[in-house]
Amino acid sequence: MRELYPPIEPYHEGKLQVSELHTIHFEQSGNPNGKPVIFLHGGPGGGITPMYRQYFEPNLWRIIIFDQRGCGQSTPYAELRENTTWDLVSDIEKLREHLGIQQWVVFGGSWGSTLALAYSQTHPKSCLGLILRGIFMLRPQELHWFYQEGASYIFPDAWQEYLKPIRVEERHDLLSAYYRRLTSENLQVRLEAARAWSVWEGSTSKLFPSESTIQRFGEADFAEAFARIECHYFVNKGFFKTPNQLLDNVDRIRHLPAVIVQGRYDVVCPMITAWELHQAWQEAEFIVVPDAGHSMSEPGIRTALIEASDHVVRVVG
């Protein structure tokens, strides 16, 4: 098993105004002359953590990480206006141009894999390659599995807590019921729903549930942006034209070197989605971690991702 690279501090942090309303926070670490990689965090609304820098050999990579609209240190906090997949795709390209980068590797897991696919299919000439983990394409069947019925059969105890804020008569459409609460003007109603939504994901993201992960997901500062922005994207079906848009557009990125890492027992983003992407894109290396769930911090997934980043930096070098 591979351990993370040692902690490092950014050599540059900044803000980039991407619209009249939104400003995003970004940072750079590693080697300023290294191979550029853009890290796309999960959620949407999850924000960045220092640990993300440690998946890359700091002498070889120029590591760019940013908080997507409405979360982390980006402003305004938990804002849903002007917050769509295509706004974020535009932000990534604006950040690339702002930093004077011609091409970069795109790294994304969970929702970050969704965004990585959307961005690379829109701007393939800006990309050197992709590293993807915990594949999520935001299709109706994926949302139904995790937020309406499916994962509840595996985690009935955590599901019971997820249901608590929602009245029985509203439970036939949990996404809509949650959206009403997460956009309520009543702060208490918003926070109760946000914590329940967020803790549900934190409770199911690892093969062996982690109390520290559950606690972090339940913190109000994290949960409100995470739950509001996720639910906003999900009730709007990711702002995609068709459910299979990302799968149908694989030809646009087929030429790029890519690694797909998937936990066999991922309950949040079940392996069927990664498998279908693999079937459509067999040129990409496909790695199934046999003893892992969803989280990138699980030992098998951590190891596969570090090995993938070590490999890709040399392939695109």
- The answer to whether 203 touches 158, Cβ cutoff 8 Å, is yes
Q: Which one of the listed residues 110, 120, 126, 309 is annotated catalytic?
A: 110
> What pLDDT was estimated at residue 137?
98
Residues near 158 by beta carbon (within 8 Å), at least 6 away in sequence: 199, 200, 203, 204, 209
294 in active site: yes
Which residues 6+ apart lie within 8 Å of 279 measured at CB? none
Token representation of residue 139: 């299709």
Instruction: Please state whether the predicted TM-score (pTM) of the whole model is above 0.95.
Output: yes
Based on DSSP, count helices (H) and strands (E) in the chain, helices before strands: 11, 8
- Could you read off the pLDDT of 222-270 as tens digits, one per residue? 999 999 999 999 999 999 999 999 999 999 999 999 999 999 999 999 9
What percentage of residues in the chain have a pLDDT greater than 90? Answer: 99
pLDDT for 30 beyond 90 = yes
Would you state the structure tokens that stand for residue 41, as one six-digit string?
A: 């965090």
Is 210 a known active-site residue?
no
Cβ atoms of residues 109 and 137 within 8 Å: no
Whether pLDDT at 317 is above 90: no
Of 126, 294, 295, 309, the catalytic one is 294
One-letter amino acid at 302 equals R
What average pLDDT is seen over the chain? 97
Could you give the CA distance from residue 227 to residue 192 in angstroms, rounded to a whole number? 11
Q: Are 257 and 127 in contact (CB under 8 A)?
A: no
pLDDT tens figures, 50-88: 999 999 999 999 999 999 999 999 999 999 999 999 999
pLDDT in tens, 6-24: 999 999 999 999 999 999 9
Which one of 22, 67, 266, 295 is the catalytic residue? 266
The reply to whether 110 belongs to the active site is yes
Contact 23, 71 (CB under 8 A): no
Residue position matching structure tokens 């991702």: 305
- Give the pLDDT confidence of 256-313 residue by residue, as tens digits: 999 999 999 999 999 999 999 999 999 999 999 999 999 999 999 999 999 999 999 9
pLDDT computed for residue 152 by the predictor: 97
Q: Which residue, 134, 159, 139, is CA-closest to 275?
A: 134
All structural domains of the chain: 12-139+239-315 (3.40.50.1820), 141-238 (no CATH)
Do 224 and 79 touch, CB atoms closer than 8 A? Answer: no
